[in-house]
Amino acid sequence: MTKVKVAIIGSGNIGTDLMIKIMRNSDYLEMSAMVGIDVNSEGLARAQRMGYVTTAKGLGGLVEMPEWDEIKIIFDATSAKAHYHNWAIVEKCADKTMIDLTPAAIGPYLIPTVNFDAGHNVRNVNMVTCGGQATIPMVAAVNRITKVHYGEIVASIASKSAGAGTRANIDEFTATTAKAIEKVGGADKGKALIILNPAEPPVVMRDTVFTLSEQADREAIKASIHKMVHEVQAYVPGYNLHQEVQFDDIPEDKPVFIEDLGYRYGLKTTILLQVRGAGHYLPEYAGNLDIMTSAAMRTGEKLVKENF
């Protein structure tokens, strides 16, 4: 099939890694333009060397170029604040779709393995956060077996893999991920934390997922989790369980207090994950960035298959 032309806004680590993934691996997407705001950006220079259209004048600069008319999908790898400005431009173009890699969350949250159908007919979809992409599939895996009252995730990433955009979006990270744990993962209440680990040498992304749910068959929950891990591995090969799933009973006479929910008891499930990057542009320890770019590309390809 004819590939659909795409542009990437944001020439930092995430945007550059996404560009290389599309160039090397996509059968459905064709890289057309890289947009930035820094004329000295390494990502812009790399895109230019590869023969793609570039501009350091932001999205407005691309709109003025003839290539804009042929571009159908725009990936936004900037910041939550910048995305509002970028969407105001794209929204006016009825033939273009935006895939948002920032925590702005203007469009619906989208986790490819969990709820793609909820977003394939809208023109702005939000990829939540790196922590959300890694952990919400696990909350959903438990929730499809038994009702999840509470989901909490802790994402630990190498400090070196957290660029300016990631650091600028930390508040939005926690708020957006928590909401997506509820809306996509199915939990009544969600909470998210992020840790920037300064260890040397840098450590790979580790994620811990806690759920408190109704009691259910533990083997069925394990099977659901392993099935979901396999589904995510289809586009993030470095996604794995770091240890076997753990269970604890929270008895009725010793319930735990959850903000906004009150006291709850049931089955506590602990899921420990490791995400190792593919090493396309970024080091393998930067699994947090790799899972975002991989999920975004997967979403773009699925949108092409559904709508083009």
Per-residue pLDDT reduced to its tens digit, 8-27:
999 998 999 999 999 999 99
> pLDDT class for 154, splitting at 50, 70, 90?
very high
111 and 213 fall within a common domain: no
User: CATH no. for residue 273?
Assistant: 3.30.360.10
134 and 248 fall within a common domain: yes
193 and 117 fall within a common domain: no
Q: Which residues pair with 143 in a beta bridge?
A: none
| Range of lowest pLDDT (60-69, 120-129, 163-172, 226-235) | 163-172
15 and 115 fall within a common domain: yes
Buried-exposed string 257-278: b where 16+ CB fall within 10 A, e elsewhere: ebeeeeebbbbbbebbbbbbbb
> Is 93 labeled as catalytic in the residue annotation?
no
Residue 167, pLDDT above cutoff 90: no
Per-residue pLDDT reduced to its tens digit, 44-87:
999 999 999 999 999 999 999 999 999 999 999 998 899 999 99
The pair of three-digit structure tokens given for residue 115, joined into one six-digit string: 């709820």
State percent of the chain over pLDDT 90.
88
22 and 164 fall within a common domain: no
- Which residues are within 8 A (CB) of 265 and not within 5 positions of it... i.e. 6 or more apart? 250, 251, 252, 254, 255, 256
186 and 280 fall within a common domain: yes
Alpha helices in the chain (DSSP H): 13-25, 42-49, 58-63, 80-90, 112-115, 130-143, 164-168, 170-183, 218-233, 287-307
How far does Cα 228 stand from its chain's mean position? 16
> pLDDT class for 120, splitting at 50, 70, 90?
low
Are 10 and 83 in contact, with CB atoms under 8 Å apart? no
The pair of three-digit structure tokens given for residue 175, joined into one six-digit string: 């708020």
Mean pLDDT of the 171-188 span: 95
37 and 157 fall within a common domain: no
Select which of 130, 178, 209, 212 is catalytic: 130
> pLDDT class for 206, splitting at 50, 70, 90?
very high
Longest dimension (CA), the chain: 68
Per-residue pLDDT reduced to its tens digit, 247-280:
999 999 999 999 999 999 999 999 999 999 999 8
115 and 30 fall within a common domain: yes
Question: Which residue type sits at 240?
Answer: N
* CA distances, 116 to each of 1, 154, 239, 245 (Å): 22, 24, 19, 26
Q: How many domains does the chain have?
A: 2
Beta strands 189-197 and 73-76, pairing class: unpaired
What pLDDT is attached to residue 119? Answer: 60
49 and 194 fall within a common domain: no
How far does Cα 203 stand from its chain's mean position? 19
> pLDDT class for 114, splitting at 50, 70, 90?
very high
State percent of the chain over pLDDT 70.
98
d(Cα 97, Cα 36) in Å, to the nearest integer?
19
Q: What is the mean pLDDT of the chain?
A: 95
Query: Which structural domain range is residue 139 located in?
Result: 130-285
148 and 281 fall within a common domain: yes
